[in-house]
């Protein structure tokens, strides 16, 4: 079976072809980052319009790379939600129209299921059940994953997502949008423990987290440093602050991940979402042990941590493999901008 995957939930148009026998055949991505940069954030209307422009050429380029034709596609998997309404509608309209024209079924999918299953795309050694840490621009959650579609929410951020905290902190440090990845590069240059920021909710006794207070702690440190340095922020101080911020986030995520594994009795951790590309976090999570027991930790390759079509094509193929029936494309369809992952069924 050849599954075409379509992702358009935010500011990336992603298309991919996944073959249930031969694996990932091709994937193509267009990021709108540069277009939104001058506004300092994603402009929903611009995002929708750009998705419309990119969907067809990206599909054509994928088919060419895979040596396939439109007629070879067996099912069309697309992101139904959560995400920006207009952006989702662009992908959903295209997916349903294409499937209708090809007389092939569709699979409307949950974006976070795509992220969550993405480590299995490249790593055959991941077995259910496992604890998933979804750590992205919009979400920071622990899920107990018992199988495809069987997700139980264990805990989540009560305010900002970790990726959002990275981006907002980068902004207040004057780094160009979107600053999360840049902040983490600078953190690598910083001196550990030159600054220390709070670890919110570390001892809350549950698996919830909070990251919004960290920005304020960073802002206070930046203002103090500026006052000490005649109004400017020396690069070395900025890097030290980046390091301390990243240490605080990584500490909380690693401690809560260990608690999630202890609570569930599971010893496999799967990390997905953009912040999963963070090198320091990857090191911390790979070094986790529970008592004397080793933990197996899996990540997608960094390029598949952020939004992409490959994860949606793969999630579609996984659902088909687990007996989910793809549906006939509908003349009327809905998108689900808000959609809790735990509402899915196997």
Binding site residues, Mg ion, CB under 5 A:
10-12, 307
**What is the distance, to the nearest Å, from the Cα of residue 321 to the centroid of all Cα atoms in its chain?**
23
Minimum distance from residue 249 beta carbon to ligand ATP (Å): 8
Of these, 137, 155, 200, 300, which contacts ligand ATP (CB under 6 A)?
137
Please state the φ and ψ torsions of residue 139, each to the nearest 5 degrees. Answer: -140, 150
Residues near 149 by beta carbon (within 8 Å), at least 6 away in sequence = 113, 319, 322, 324, 344, 345, 346
Q: What is the pattern of x (binds Fe ion, CB under 5 A) and - over residues 130-159?
A: ------x-----------------------
Question: Could you write out the DSSP letters of every residue in 155-189?
Answer: EEBSSS-HHHHHHHHHHHTTPPSS-HHHHHHHHHH
Q: Does 5 bind ligand ATP (CB under 6 A)?
A: no
Q: Does 81 bind ligand ATP (CB under 6 A)?
A: no
Asked if residue 180 belongs to a known ligand binding site, the reply is yes
3, 74 contact by CB (below 8 A):
yes
Of these, 5, 81, 155, 180, which contacts ligand ATP (CB under 6 A)?
180
Of these, 181, 207, 250, 304, which contacts ligand ATP (CB under 6 A)?
181
Query: How distant, in Å, are the alpha carbons of 140, 151, 262 from that of 265?
Result: 21, 16, 5
Please state the φ and ψ torsions of residue 210, each to the nearest 5 degrees. Answer: -145, 130
- Tell me the window of 119-127, 178-186, 192-200, 287-295 that interacts with ligand ATP (CB under 6 A): 178-186
Q: What is the pattern of x (binds ligand ATP, CB under 6 A) and - over residues 183-202?
A: -x------------------
Minimum distance from residue 173 beta carbon to ligand ATP (Å): 13
Q: Does 307 bind Fe ion (CB under 5 A)?
A: yes
Using CB under 6 A as the binding criterion, the count of chain residues that bind ligand ATP stands at 23
Q: What is the pattern of x (binds ligand ATP, CB under 6 A) and - over residues 315-344?
A: ------------------------------
Distinct helix (H) and strand (E) counts, the chain: 10, 12
Neighbours of 8 (CB within 10 A): 35
Which residue do the tokens 């750009």 mark?
A: 50
d(CA 56, CA 98): 10
Checking phi first, is residue 144 left (phi over 0); if not, alpha (psi -120 to 50) or beta?
Answer: beta
Q: Which is nearer to ligand ATP, 82 or 329 (CB)?
A: 82
Q: Are strands 293-294 and 12-19 parallel, antiparallel or unpaired?
A: unpaired
- Tell me the window of 88-96, 142-150, 305-313, 315-323 that interacts with Fe ion (CB under 5 A): 305-313
Structure tokens at 99: 């499937």
Asked if residue 137 belongs to a known ligand binding site, the reply is yes
Minimum distance from residue 272 beta carbon to Fe ion (Å): 9
- Tell me the window of 21-29, 59-67, 210-218, 272-280 that interacts with ligand ATP (CB under 6 A): 272-280
75: β partners:
3
Note the residues at the interface with Fe ion (CB under 5 A).
136, 307
Note the residues at the interface with ligand ATP (CB under 6 A).
9-10, 111, 115, 136-139, 163-164, 166-167, 178, 180-181, 184, 273-275, 277-278, 306-307
């Amino acid at each position: 079976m050849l599954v075409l995957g379509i992702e358009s939930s935010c500011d990336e148009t992603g298309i991919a072809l996944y073959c249930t026998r031969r694996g990932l055949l091709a994937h193509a991505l267009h990021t709108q980052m540069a277009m939104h940069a001058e506004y300092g954030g994603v402009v929903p209307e611009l995002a929708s319009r750009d998705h419309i422009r990119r969907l067809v050429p990206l599909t054509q380029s994928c088919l060419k790379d895979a040596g396939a034709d439109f007629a070879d596609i067996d099912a069309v998997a697309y992101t139904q939600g959560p995400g920006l309404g207009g952006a989702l509608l662009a992908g959903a309209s295209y997916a349903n129209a294409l499937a209708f024209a090809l007389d092939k079924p569709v699979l409307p999918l949950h974006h976070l299921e795509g992220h969550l299953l993405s480590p299995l795309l490249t790593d055959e050694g991941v077995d259910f059940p496992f604890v998933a840490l979804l750590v992205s621009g919009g979400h920071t959650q622990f899920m107990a994953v018992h199988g495809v579609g069987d997700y139980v929410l264990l805990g989540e951020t009560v305010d900002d997502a970790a990726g959002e905290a990275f981006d907002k902190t980068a902004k207040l440090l004057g780094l160009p949008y979107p600053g999360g990845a840049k902040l983490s590069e600078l953190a690598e240059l910083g001196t550990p423990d030159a600054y220390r920021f709070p670890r919110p909710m570390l001892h809350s006794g549950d698996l919830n987290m909070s990251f919004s207070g960290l920005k304020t702690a960073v802002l206070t440190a930046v203002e103090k440093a500026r006052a000490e340095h005649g109004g400017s922020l020396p690069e070395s101080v900025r890097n030290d602050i980046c390091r301390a911020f990243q240490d605080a986030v990584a500490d909380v995520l690693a401690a809560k991940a260990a608690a999630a594994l202890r609570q569930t009795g599971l010893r496999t951790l799967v990390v997905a979402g953009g912040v999963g590309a963070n090198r320091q976090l990857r090191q911390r999570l790979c070094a986790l042990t529970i008592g004397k027991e080793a933990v197996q930790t899996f990540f997608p390759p960094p390029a598949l941590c952020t939004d992409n079509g490959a994860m949606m094509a793969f999630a579609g193929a996984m659902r088909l493999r687990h007996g989910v029936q793809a549906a006939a494309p509908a003349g009327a369809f809905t998108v689900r901008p808000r959609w809790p992952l735990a509402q899915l069924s196997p």
